[in-house]
Amino acid sequence: MSEVIALGQPTVGEAELAAIAEVFASGWLAGSGPTSRRFEERFAAAVGTRHALATSNCGSALHLALLTLGVKPGDEVIVGDYTFPATGHSVMWTGATPVFADVRPDIWTVDPAAVEAAVTARTVGIIAVDAFGQPADYDELRAIADKHGLFLVEDAACSAGATYKGRPAGSLADVATFSFHGRKGITAGEGGAYVTDRDDLAAHARKLHTYGVEGALTRAELSHLPIPTFTELGYNYRLSDVAAAIMIAQLDRLPDLLATKRAVAARYGELLKDHELITAPYEAPDREHPWQSYVVTLDARVDRGAVALELRQRGVQCTFGTYASHVQPLYGQTDPCPVSADLFARHLAIPMHANLTEAQVETVAATLTDVVDTLATRR
């Protein structure tokens, strides 16, 4: 095996190194410093919101979203089922209960009809998940939220650069949260962001993410010596200025990264479109997919585990899609989400990142089709 084609790979280089060097020279490496502030301003502008807050990861941003929206023990929050469990975990961190709603079979985001059916007297809000970056049905979800007096959160962990009906991901709900994990479209290795148009929520989130007090940069700008008073339990959810510098460089790269991955997705679609046992992912016509991942659906007759093992042996990295949350024992949910459960069993993520060459894309597609055909013949 001469080459391993990576499942995901960040695009980083001299621009990020120069940004880090600038932060080192400034002497302010900790979180919530001047570089974090610059990144927050840039990111808010990019996603079309008034406020952005850099966080340690998307999970912390989700936790802040629910805290600032007033979620408390005894509440229920409806969550799109097909998602990494950080979404459900964030609800449990507040003492509330996640109630998982099934997803659409085509774009894998939460089904508005399932959300409507899940509303109870204890429901306080909805978290929609942009599956692998493609936005959910926010107009329909907003109508449901307004009808029942609920908040709406966009889990945009994978969605940087995506759009819904011409509006950028991040601007589609009361609060949105992003991830800058190493496999995301733009990355500092780890990190996240909380974004909103509401001044009150942004101010509260900024306080909670720094132990419940104003940050050091804000205090340093005052004309007197401030002695913080702790009146509310807060957390250390800050992103370091070193990581924020990387994110500024990554934002500069974002248009090119998106264009490259769209080309990769289009080429995969061409190469896989006629295969009987492999279904390529669908992009809704009123959305722009950022292609954080490229996830195919294998026919139910195909042994996904055997396909994955053979692909890896041939140098093509792969993994399952994401989780059907309702089947995870932690949550104790008994109501079925059959669409999500089916996707959980049949999805396979193949290499998707902006560093893939055309030859690698063709190799991945050819290897995948050959493996599936070979294993199907053996059955």
Amino acid at 301: R
Cα dihedral angle (267, 273, 275, 279), rounded to 10 degrees? Answer: 100
Q: Indicate the length of the chain as a whole number.
A: 379
> How is 187-208 classified by DSSP, letter by letter?
-SBS-EEEEES-HHHHHHHHHH
- The active-site residue, picked from 72, 147, 165, 184, is 184
**Structure token pair of residue 110:** 């939460």
Residues whose CB falls within 8 Å of the CB of residue 9, separated by 6 or more in sequence, listed in order: 353, 355
> How is 247-258 classified by DSSP, letter by letter?
HHHHHHHHHHHH
184 is catalytic: yes
**Structure token pair of residue 271:** 């190469």
**Structure token pair of residue 208:** 């909670």
CA 69, 100, 160, 172 dihedral sign is negative
Angstrom distance (rounded) from CA 19 to CA 64? 28
Q: How far is CA 98 from CA 67, 87, 346, in A?
A: 14, 9, 24
DSSP bridge partners of 273: none
Answer for the pair 333, 100: CB distance below 8 angstroms, yes or no: yes
Residues whose CB falls within 8 Å of the CB of residue 315, separated by 6 or more in sequence, listed in order: 1, 2, 3, 4, 5, 367
Query: How far, in whole angstroms, is CA 41 from its chain's centroid?
Result: 20
Query: How far, in whole angstroms, is CA 347 from its chain's centroid?
Result: 17
Residue 366: CB atoms within 10 Å: 12
Residue positions annotated with a catalytic role: 184
